[in-house]
Amino acid sequence: MIWKSLILWTGLLVLAILNGGFRIKLLNPYLGETTGHITSTILLSLLILGFTCLVIRWLRPATVPESLAIGLGWTLLTLGFEFGAGHFLFGKTWSDLLADYNIAALRIWPLALITTFLSPWLAARIRNVI
């Protein structure tokens, strides 16, 4: 099951990268940076849940704790990629990376992380897998 989880997380990574490009090229120029970010985060959260609903029968977690463990793994991989690649590959400062967690500034990126964590469990419930 671990290799299936890793393959599917790679799919989530591709969705996130495509969503980021969509935000930069289309949403931000028309909606502004803040509204573009909010719209993009909500869209990504829906994409994460939708993708997980499509693949949950292939992943097939056996129990609620197992589905939550998959979500935790995906969330940790996402955080590792965000901070590791963001800082070391793309040269973003730590403060720039942490700015997306400032809810008071309408930065709702944590919603995507919460969705990533809960999506295997939610999808399994929606699709009657567990």
pLDDT given at position 12: 98
Task: Determine the Cα–Cα distance for residues 101 and 108; give it in Å rounded to an integer.
Answer: 7
Give the chain's count of helices (H) and strands (E). Answer: 6, 0
Q: What is the pTM of this model?
A: 0.94
Task: Determine the Cα–Cα distance for residues 70 and 86; give it in Å rounded to an integer.
Answer: 23
Amino acid at residue number 129 = V
Q: Mean pLDDT for the chain? A: 96
Apex CA 107: angle with CA 104 and CA 112, to 5°? 130
pLDDT given at position 118: 98
pLDDT in tens, 46-60: 999 999 999 999 999
Number of domains in the chain: 1
Tokens of 120: 């295997």
pLDDT-derived band at 34 (thresholds 50, 70, 90) equals: very high
pLDDT-derived band at 76 (thresholds 50, 70, 90) equals: very high
Cα dihedral 123, 127, 128, 130 in deg (nearest 10):
-30
Q: What is the mean pLDDT of residues 100-108?
A: 93
Boundaries of domain holding 29: 2-126
